[in-house]
A = this chain, B = another copy of it.
Amino acid sequence: MDGRLSQASQDYLKIIYKLASQYGRATTSQIAENLEVKPASVTNMLQKMAQIEPPLVRYKKHQGVSLTPAGEEAALEMLRHHRLIELFLHEILGYPWDEVHEEAERLEHVISEKMERRMAEVLGNPMRDPHGQVIPSHDLELTATTEFPLSELRPPQRAVIRRVHDEDADLLRHLEQLGLLPQATLTVFKHVSFDGNLHIKLDDQDEPIVLGTQITSQVFVDFVAGPQLP
């Protein structure tokens, strides 16, 4: 009613956006689980969000919700804030990539449009966050990407890492230690069909490494043409 959305609403919108991108819609219990609140609280909140002007979600009893244009815009705004902040913390303040999320989670609701713009400028209007997730543009367009799981590669394919799963700090630390970072290029030289293990070599490392599917399913790549340049 005062134009500004509450932090709680913004958190609901973010998770609804994510769930709806994945499943078409978001259910009460999915939202409850993600936000760590009880389902009854979610129902209550969704009904409010559907009734304000303009409505943020389309809500019909027992059918889950999806975002209205207004809701989607607000969700993308938070997504841009979140990912810009993550990159800023990493690049400018030297945060390790497994420690940026929590801080961004709080800051995203609080920064002004000016600060968003200044951070983007200092960072060179970046396209992706430290984990490779695409940052919505200034006007909240989200460019489509083509990356797919590393686990789908077969020898002798070559690829560049675009993005990694960003919700498991242990995984992130492990990936960093292995050198599995966005931008890294690699060649697959062996696939073991029994356990799904993939033997790869990173272009900028000498030793090959062997990766289980727990890892390869969480690293997303694009094909890259040609052999490694010497």
What residues make up the interface of A, taking CB atoms closer than 8 Å to B? Answer: 89, 92-95, 99, 102-103, 106-107, 110-112, 114-115, 118-119, 122
Contact = CB atoms under 8 A, between A and B. Distances in A.
21 contacts: A89-B115, A92-B92, A92-B122, A93-B115, A93-B119, A93-B122, A94-B118, A94-B122, A95-B114, A95-B118, A99-B114, A102-B112, A103-B111, A103-B112, A103-B114, A103-B115, A106-B111, A107-B107, A107-B110, A107-B111, A110-B110
A107 B92 CA distance: 17
Contacts of A99: 114
Contacts of A92: 92, 122
A107 B116 CA distance: 13
Contacts of A115: 89, 93, 103
A100 to B, nearest CB: 10
A131 to B, nearest CB: 19
Contacts of A89: 115
B106 A110 contact: yes
Contacts of A93: 115, 118-119, 122
Nearest to A94: B118
A188 to B, nearest CB: 38
Nearest to A102: B112
A8 to B, nearest CB: 14
A1 B111 CA distance: 28
A4 to B, nearest CB: 12
A94 B89 CA distance: 17
A123 to B, nearest CB: 11
A73 to B, nearest CB: 21
A99 B102 CA distance: 27
A102 B106 CA distance: 17
Contacts of A95: 114, 118
Contacts of A102: 112
A105 B106 CA distance: 15
Given A89-B115, A95-B118, 15 more contacts: A92-B92, A92-B122, A93-B115, A93-B118, A93-B119, A95-B114, A102-B112, A103-B112, A103-B115, A106-B110, A106-B111, A106-B112, A107-B110, A107-B111, A110-B110
